């Protein structure tokens, strides 16, 4: 089932609406005519991603005790020694 999401929902920002300044930039792109000699980035296979051969090994590196302490300190809500997260809802 297709469902149209509003900008407010997409951005998780109350009252989010499109801006005139940004719309002007959209118009420039819509009207832009790419060079006939240049490749479409999807067709040409030009990608900015790191190649598979250069990927680092998938290893777990333990964080330091200080790093863990700071992560806990940064957590917005704690109760009886537990880090409190919101209930997950589905709708």
Partner 1 sequence: MSSEIVKVHEDLKAGKISCVQLIQERLKALKNSSNNTANYLLTEFAMERASKVDEKIKNGEEIGLFEGIPFGIKDVYLLQGQYASASSDFLRNYKSPYTATAIQKLLDAGAIPIVKENCDSFGHGSSTENTVFGASKNALNEELVAGGSSGGSAVNVAKGYTVFSIGGDTGGSIRQPAGYNKVYGLKPTYGRISRYGLMAYASSTDCVGPISKSLEDILLLLNVMSGKDYHDQTSFESEQISLGVIEKQIRGNEFKIGYYKNFIENKALDPELKKDFIKFIETLKSNGVEVKELDFFDGNILVSTYYMLAMAETASNLARLDGTNYGVRHSSDSLKEGYAITRSENFTEETKRRIVGGNQVLSHGHAEEIYLKARTLREQIKEQFDKEFTEVDIILSPVSTGKPPKIGETLKDPLAMYLSDAYTVGFSLGGLPTLTSPLVTETGIQITSAKGQEEKILKFAKYIKDIVE
74 touches partner 1 by CB under 8 A: yes
Binding status of residue 66 toward partner 1 by CB under 8 A: yes
Q: Does 65 bind partner 1 (CB under 8 A)?
A: no
Q: Does residue 52 interact with partner 1 by CB under 8 A?
A: no
CB of 57 to partner 1, least distance (A): 10
Residues 6+ apart with CB under 8 A from 10: 16
- The Cα 59–Cα 23 span in angstroms is 44
Binding partner 1 by CB under 8 A: which of 1, 29, 52, 62? Answer: 29
The verdict on 82 binding partner 1 (CB under 8 A) reads no
Task: Find out whether 18 and 29 touch, Cβ atoms under 8 Å.
Answer: no
Binding site for partner 1 (CB under 8 A): 5, 7-22, 24-26, 28-30, 32, 34-35, 38-42, 44, 46, 48, 50, 54-56, 63-64, 66-67, 70-71, 73-77, 85-89
């Amino acid at each position: 089932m297709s469902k149209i999401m509003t900008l407010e929902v997409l951005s998780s920002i109350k009252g989010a609406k499109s801006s005139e300044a940004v719309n002007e930039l959209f118009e420039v792109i819509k009207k832009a005519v790419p060079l006939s000699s240049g490749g479409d980035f999807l067709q040409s296979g030009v990608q900015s991603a790191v190649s598979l051969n250069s990927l680092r090994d998938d290893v777990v590196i333990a964080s330091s005790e200080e790093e863990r302490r700071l992560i806990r300190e940064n957590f917005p809500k704690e109760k009886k020694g537990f880090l409190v997260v919101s209930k997950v809802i589905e709708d």
